[in-house]
Amino acid sequence: MGNDFLDLKIGVDIVDNKTTDDHYTPAFIFEALNVEFDIDVAAPVGGVPWIPCKNYYTLLDDGLRSEWTGLIWCNPPYSAPTPWARKMIDHNNGISLVPLSKSKWFNEMWEASLGAVILPPNLKFIRGNGAAVPIFMPVMLHAFGQVAADALANSNLGRMR
């Protein structure tokens, strides 16, 4: 994994809802995971072009109320991650990108996932305007189900527990 993600700026249009929750996962994460997801359950309108998924749910679809099928990608709104974490635990097939937290939902994910990797502290997310920006908290990937665990283990994104 190189350091290209430090100063990345994506030249594509993504809907910018201008909220603090609009931080999209950089492309190198998906390149490293090397897996196609069935649904991105927390996508902006129009989806994120570099996320390899067959379908996506937006605010209009309400990813929490919609049915999750197959392998799920979930980078939930960090302002309210609890219901997303619990739905991923119940679904038990996918990968979630969540902040480290002193919370019950985080402990539940930690216990339920088959693997987890803390991502580098200099990770930058992509905003709706294409700018790459850091966030103030550390984040990690949690894998649910064997396909997700294998993808995370083979990703070289960090040491998997």
**Nearest CA among 82, 76, 75, 74 for reference residue 103:** 82
Task: Please tell me the predicted confidence (pLDDT) of residue 143.
Answer: 98
Helices (H), the chain: 27-33, 82-91, 104-112, 146-153
Compute how many other C-beta atoms are within 10 angstroms of the C-beta atom of residue 109. Answer: 23
pLDDT tens track for 53-73: 999 999 899 999 999 999 999
Query: Tokens 């902006």 identify what position?
Result: 44
What whole-number percentage of the chain has pLDDT above 90?
72
- Helix and strand tally (H, E) in the chain? 4, 8
Residue 30 or residue 133, greater confidence: 30
- Whether 76 contacts 98, CB under 8 Å: yes
pLDDT > 50? residue 10 = no
Query: Using 50, 70 and 90 to split pLDDT, how confident is the model at 148?
Result: very high
The residue extents of the domains of the chain are 25-121+139-153
- Summary mean pLDDT of the chain: 88
pTM score of the predicted model: 0.86
pLDDT > 80? residue 21 = no
Query: Using 50, 70 and 90 to split pLDDT, how confident is the model at 135?
Result: confident
pLDDT > 70? residue 152 = yes
Report CA-CA distances (Å) from 41 to 1, 78, 102.
26, 14, 24
* pLDDT (average), residues 81-95: 98
pLDDT > 80? residue 3 = no
